[in-house]
């Protein structure tokens, strides 16, 4: 009897670490799936563009060290949480269509690495947390723009993707709002009245110049992706312009028109922020936007996949370099003043 009891005790002792290890592995697996649900690369880009908006509005304004840290931290954290929540809710809504597409079928929900209810809960929690952080640390204007971004992305753009090819333009609106979130976060600091805290940050032409750069850039960028993956989008039941354009001529003309429009749009901040931007940014913006437009114009002559990919990579190169040039020139002007 004693030998039998000892055997049971020894077995239990050996089993406990194995159970704990299995539970830890399962938890790590779920956390990794939850992180993937937030589309980290897109979230990082959203946070960067919000940071650019914050920087451009913050330069030249009176700051205390603590105030600058709190506002900048709140802007990046709140925007990242909001974007993560919106992305998670997007994947929750599109889980059945994602399972049909090669490029999305390995996402957490199609592979059942997370339940739909868990994804919904994560998305809502992150979205609400992001808006709350922005309201608490950056003021109501930034929080309201962030809330509008989430609503437009989740409740308007996502449901329209299988309905109309105009979803590309509609989706570009919430995609272009993060710099306005950042601008409002910096502009609202120390605002003495409700007007200067809510309305004033949102009527600044420079903030909407940043919005326009993001909006116009997105159209040829997204169309290039849709063109390269049109068969996959068709499997998912989405309506994208390249799917109804077998020759590619309409898609090429649309990309070229938007890319050409991006040239004056990219130069607009120089006129609206002459105290912060000058020849350095203007030269680089003109060069980068002109190069992107040239890649898109080439598609009017050739719709070979390698040329489509070249236009896509030109879009990837264009945006971060333009934003870096903008911030660098503004910092140079602030230092030289």
Q: Is the pLDDT of residue 46 over 70?
A: yes
Determine the average pLDDT of the residues in 305-312: 95
pLDDT at 5: 57
Which of 17-26, 32-41, 121-130 is the least confident region? 17-26
State whether CATH 1.10.357.140 applies to domain 25-203. Answer: yes
Higher pLDDT, 60 or 88: 88
Both structure tokens of 283: 């030269």
9 pLDDT above the threshold of 60: no
Q: What does the pLDDT look like over 50-79, one tens digit per residue?
A: 999 999 999 978 888 888 999 999 999 999
Lowest mean pLDDT among 172-176, 185-189, 237-241: 185-189
Mean pLDDT of the 276-281 span: 94
What is the pLDDT at residue 12?
56
> 193 versus 73: which is more confidently predicted?
73
pLDDT higher than threshold 70 for residue 300:
yes
C-alpha to C-alpha distance for 18 and 1, rounded to whole angstroms = 26
Q: What is the 3-state secondary structure (H, E, C) of the chain?
A: CHHHHHHHHHHHHHHHHHHHHHHHHHHHHHHHHHHHHCCHHHHHHHHHHHHHHHHHHHCCCCCCHHHHHHHHHHHHHHHHHHHHHHHHHHHHHCHHHHCCCCCCCCCCCCCCCCCHHHHHHHHHHHHHHHHHHHHHHHCHHHHHHHHHHHHHHHHHHHHHCCCCCCHHHHHHHHHHCHHHHHHHHHHCCCCCCHHHHHHHHHHCHHHHHHHHHHHHHHHHHHHHHHHHCHHHHHHHCCCCHHHHCCCCHHHHHHHHHHHHHHHHHHHHHHHHCCCCCCHHHHHHHHHHHHHHHHHHHHCCCCCCHHHHHHHHHHHHHHHHHHHHHHHHHHHHHHHHC
Of residues 27 and 51, more confidence is placed in 51
For residue 40, pLDDT over 80 is answered with yes
pLDDT digits over 107-141, tens only? Answer: 999 999 999 999 999 999 999 999 999 999 999 99
Nearest-angstrom CA–CA distance, 281 and 266:
9
Query: Which carries the bigger pLDDT value, residue 17 or residue 313?
Result: 313
The confidence score (pLDDT) of residue 198 equals 83
Which of 65-69, 82-86, 163-167 has the lowest average pLDDT?
A: 65-69
Tell me which of 259 and 12 has the higher pLDDT. 259
> By C-alpha distance, which of 97, 80, 172 is closest to 134?
80
Position 191 scores a pLDDT of 65
Between 317 and 188, the higher pLDDT residue: 317
How do residues 241-257 score in pLDDT, each as one tens digit?
Answer: 999 998 999 999 999 99
Give pairs for 63-71: CB < 8 Å, separation 24+: 63/189, 67/189, 67/190, 70/137, 71/137, 71/138, 71/185, 71/186, 71/189
**Res 190: pLDDT:** 66
Flag whether pLDDT at 224 surpasses 70: yes
Q: What is the CA radius of gyration of the chain?
A: 24
- Answer left, alpha or beta for residue 81, where phi above 0 means left and psi between -120 and 50 means alpha: alpha
Query: Which of 29-33, 75-79, 155-159 has the lowest average pLDDT?
Result: 29-33
C-alpha distances in angstroms, 241 versus 128, 155, 226, 284? 33, 21, 8, 31
Q: How many Å apart are CA 166 and CA 262, to the nearest integer?
A: 19
pTM of this prediction? Answer: 0.90
pLDDT of residue 297: 97
Asked if 38 and 88 count as a contact pair (C-beta separation under 8 A), the reply is yes
Residue 200 confidence class, pLDDT cut points 50, 70, 90: confident
Provide the pLDDT confidence category of residue 11 given band limits of 50, 70 and 90. Answer: low
Give the residue extent of every domain in the chain: 25-203, 204-337
Candidates 63, 68, 59; CA nearest to 273 is 59
Res. 10: pLDDT tops 60: no
Report the chain's mean pLDDT, rounded to a whole number: 91
Cα 163 to chain centroid, rounded: 22
Long-range contacts of 109-115 (CB under 8 A, 24+ apart): 109/37, 113/29, 113/30, 113/33, 114/30, 114/33, 114/34, 114/37
Percent pLDDT > 90 in the chain is 80
Closest CA to 50 of 183, 175, 190: 183
CA distance 129 to 147: 11
Is the pLDDT assigned to residue 292 strictly greater than 90? yes
* CATH architecture of the domain formed by 204-337: Up-down Bundle (1.20)
């Amino acid at each position: 009897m004693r030998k039998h009891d000892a055997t049971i005790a020894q077995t239990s002792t050996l089993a406990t670490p194995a159970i704990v290890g299995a539970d830890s592995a399962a938890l790590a697996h779920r956390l990794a799936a939850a992180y993937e649900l937030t589309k980290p690369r897109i979230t990082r880009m959203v946070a960067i563009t919000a940071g650019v908006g914050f920087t451009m509005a913050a330069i030249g304004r009176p700051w205390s060290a603590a105030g600058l840290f709190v506002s900048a931290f709140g802007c990046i954290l709140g925007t990242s949480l909001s974007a993560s929540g919106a992305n998670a809710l997007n994947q929750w809504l599109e889980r059945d269509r994602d399972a049909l597409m090669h490029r999305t079928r390995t996402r957490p929900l199609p592979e059942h690495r997370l339940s739909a209810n868990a994804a919904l809960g994560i998305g809502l929690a992150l979205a609400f947390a992001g808006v709350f952080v922005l309201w608490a640390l950056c003021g109501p204007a930034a929080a309201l723009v962030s809330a509008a971004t989430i609503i437009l992305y989740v409740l308007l753009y996502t449901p329209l993707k299988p309905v109309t090819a105009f979803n590309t333009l509609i989706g570009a609106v919430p995609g272009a709002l993060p710099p306005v979130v950042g601008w409002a976060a910096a502009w609202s600091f120390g605002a003495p009245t409700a007007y200067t805290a809510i309305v004033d940050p949102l009527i600044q032409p420079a903030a909407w110049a940043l919005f326009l750069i993001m909006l116009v850039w997105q159209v040829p960028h997204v169309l290039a992706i849709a063109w390269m993956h049109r068969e996959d989008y068709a499997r998912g039941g989405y309506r994208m312009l390249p799917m109804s354009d077998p020759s590619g001529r309409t898609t090429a003309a649309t990309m070229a028109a938007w890319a050409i429009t991006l040239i004056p749009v990219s130069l607009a901040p120089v006129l609206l922020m002459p105290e912060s931007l000058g020849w350095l940014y203007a030269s680089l913006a003109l060069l980068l936007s002109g190069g992107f437009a040239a890649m898109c114009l080439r598609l009017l002559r050739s719709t070979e996949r390698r040329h489509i990919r070249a236009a896509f990579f030109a879009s990837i190169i264009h945006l971060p370099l333009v934003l870096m040039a903008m911030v660098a020139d503004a910092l140079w002007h602030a230092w030289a003043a």
